[in-house]
């Protein structure tokens, strides 16, 4: 016989949290910075103290940026091809810089949204009832 213990937990607003993450802010308070460096997530929010080290954003942000960027660049190429006669070097001059800089600009916001999505859905140790045993000890 097994006994299952469930704890009531306060729901976290998904869309608000993702919006805060897109702005690179803490998903809980919306005030503290989510990142301490370009793509390095703070261990804790500097304002409210929410633990953020539980995130497992890994490969999802680059995949999302590739999908978004692919749609933008392919749409732009199709538009250019259908409305004017374009030489191949023009594509090279326009598309290569866009393909390099747009993902670098988008990645922190996308990663912030993914971390906030995980926080709002109580994933990967963000659930207080199920803490990760490998997580750093509180001091």
In a domain, 112, yes or no: yes
Query: What sign results for the dihedral spanned by CA atoms 119, 124, 125, 130?
Result: positive
For 109, the domain range is 14-120
In a domain, 26, yes or no: yes
Q: Which residues contact 120 (CB under 8 A, 6 or more apart)?
A: 12, 13, 14, 17, 18, 27
In a domain, 54, yes or no: yes
Please state the domain count of the chain: 1
Q: Supply the pTM of this predicted model.
A: 0.83
Read off the pLDDT band of 124 (50, 70, 90): confident
pLDDT of 136 over the 60 cut = no
In a domain, 72, yes or no: yes
Q: Which residues contact 13 (CB under 8 A, 6 or more apart)?
A: 120
pLDDT of 125 over the 70 cut = yes
In a domain, 3, yes or no: no
Residue with tokens 């370009």: 38
pLDDT of 115 over the 60 cut = yes
What's the pLDDT tens digit per position in 35-93?
Answer: 999 999 999 999 999 999 989 988 999 999 999 999 999 999 999 999 999 899 999 99
């Amino acid at each position: 016989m097994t006994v299952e213990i469930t704890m009531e937990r306060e729901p976290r607003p998904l869309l608000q949290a993702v919006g805060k993450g897109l702005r690179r802010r803490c998903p809980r308070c919306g005030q503290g910075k989510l990142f301490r460096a370009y793509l390095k997530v703070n261990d804790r929010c500097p304002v409210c103290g929410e633990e953020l080290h539980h995130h497992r954003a890994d490969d999802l942000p680059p995949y999302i940026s590739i999908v978004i960027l692919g749609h933008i660049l392919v749409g732009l190429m199709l538009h250019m091809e259908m409305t004017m006669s374009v030489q191949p070097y023009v594509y090279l001059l326009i598309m290569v810089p866009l393909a390099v800089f747009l993902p670098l600009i988008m990645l922190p916001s996308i990663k912030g949204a993914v971390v906030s999505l995980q926080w709002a859905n109580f994933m990967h140790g963000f659930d207080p009832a199920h803490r990760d045993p490998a997580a750093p000890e509180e001091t």
